[in-house]
Amino acid sequence: MPQSTPGLLFVDDTDPRLHYTGEWQQTSGSAVQLDDGTTLDDFDFIWNGKIWNDTVHETKRNNSMMTFSFSGTAYAVIGSFLFTGNSPRGRIDCFLDGNPVPDDGTSYLDDEFPGDLLRNNIMICGNGSLNSTGAETAGGHEHEIVLKIESLVHSSFFLDYILYQPVVDGGLGDETSPDQNGTDGEVMMMIGRGPFGTLLDDASEHYLTFSSGWQLDDDRASMLTRTPGAFVSVAFNGTGIQLYGDLGEESSLSNIAKYQLDDQESQTFPLLPPNDGSDLFFFQQLFNISGLSPLEEHTLVVTHNGTKTGMALSLDHFVVERASTSSFTATSSTPSAESSGGPSTGTIVGGTIGGVILLILLLSVAVFCIRRRRRQVYNTETPRDAEQVMSLLVTRPPQNGEPSNLANVNDDRDPSHQPEAGKRPAPPDVEDSSSAVAPGRGSVNALTIQEGMVFQMDSGAIVTRRYKGYPEIEER
């Protein structure tokens, strides 16, 4: 769903587009940084939010640098500090397109301990409204940010992430901005102006709607309500959404709120003071929804569901986990054939089914041809074999004085087994046919040729009958 003002995109410290020079090492918010067990997830730091994605790049060395190029209209560099001894000193210099960035707010050269820097989510430098300066590119003006570490004494600096506002409309999650290598870039987008404003600044967009009962907290740059039933709705395309807000606002008493995603059952979430309720905690994650379908637009409604006397529902921003450009185009949340380098899933499935059907047809034709060929061989070759056998049996009569080539088996047969006069022996279930031949001296009682015929010779006549079987000759 398009929007007139693109959201701020996250670039984590581990992104390959960030180029580090000097001495840097990757660490995490939960990693121990000091001998006393201090971490960046301690209460001294997380009152202003936790480390983003639990990864940071740390440096203790002067002249260490970080460079990042982008095309957009706003940016912010976010980090943390850790002081390792007395009288810490340090300065972080920012350069945009080769020019020093004024009022970056990261110098702490006074003798006083810089306690206001002992927190996470510090904006090292940034600009919420860049002009058209910078190198002209096809997608807008290309900018370069250079971060240079200067004069660190008893201090460590941690680079957490960068926010920037792209020139091209991100569509609330249906497009990611490809990086310089042509691969998908950021997948996390902030709804809300972050360090440059509040959610109210995005309320003019049709995807974000506040009911009555909300008010703007200028001091803390948040939207809050103490009115039960007051709600805010947001429409987005993406696979997940997170909500960040403030705890302890206007009361130390716990309270309750709820959210509803699309037509699912509503879910409650607590508003609890992080400690004894005497402190405010900002940029705290209130809930995280993941595993959503990227093929449809989602609607999330967050509602105050508690009491007026309890803690206010105070909101900073939403973070949308967006769909990848490998599956979606910039103007639609439905799959596109042009967004993929290969055939679609439907094409692959259809081709597979068609190939299987074609293979079955070919096999059927082959089986039919083989069976037909066998029948032809059976009908043509069997009689020819019978004729060959008959040629062996029906020969010219022996001449005077010549011995017969057939054994006179009648002379050796038992008279009790002789057939009655005028009858010929024939097995059951056969059809007899006679053909006259020249009489010979001897006769064959039965010659069996399986797979076609049985020949029986008696008194100069041949009787044939058909039956089923394999080729075989028996002499009885």
The whole-number pLDDT of residue 115 equals 62
- Which residues, in sequence order, are CB contacts of 213 under 8 Å at separation 6+? 225, 227, 229, 230, 304
* Longest alpha-carbon distance in the chain: 149
217-238 tens-digit pLDDT: 888 889 999 999 999 999 999 9
**pLDDT-derived band at 261, boundaries 50, 70, 90:** very high
Two tokens, residue 299: 């609607």
Euclidean distance between CA atoms 357 and 362, whole angstroms: 9
CATH topology for the 187-338 domain: Jelly Rolls (2.60.120)
**pLDDT-derived band at 274, boundaries 50, 70, 90:** confident
Question: Same fold for the domain at 1-169 and the one at 187-338?
Answer: yes
Q: Region 328-353: what's the mean pLDDT?
A: 47
473 pLDDT above the threshold of 70: no
Residue type, 134: G
DSSP state of 68: E
Tell me the whole-structure pTM to 2 decimals.
Answer: 0.64
| Sequence ranges of the domains in the chain | 1-169, 187-338, 350-475
Euclidean distance between CA atoms 143 and 72, whole angstroms: 8
- Which residues, in sequence order, are CB contacts of 357 under 8 Å at separation 6+? none
460 pLDDT above the threshold of 50: no
342-362 tens-digit pLDDT: 455 555 656 677 777 877 878
Query: How many C-alpha atoms does 332 have within 13 Å on its Cβ side?
Result: 8
**pLDDT-derived band at 341, boundaries 50, 70, 90:** very low
For the chain, what's the residue count?
A: 476
- CA-CA-CA-CA torsion sign (283, 43, 306, 267): positive
What CATH number does the domain located at 1-169 have? 2.60.120.260
365 pLDDT above the threshold of 50: yes
Euclidean distance between CA atoms 219 and 82, whole angstroms: 26
Given a contact cutoff of 8 angstroms between Cβ atoms, the answer to whether 199 and 252 are in contact is no
The whole-number pLDDT of residue 289 equals 97
Q: Region 19-24: what's the mean pLDDT?
A: 97
DSSP string for 230-258? -EEEEEEESSEEEEEEEESSS-SS-EEEE
The whole-number pLDDT of residue 40 equals 93
- Round the average pLDDT of the chain to a whole number and report it: 74
Q: Region 385-389: what's the mean pLDDT?
A: 48
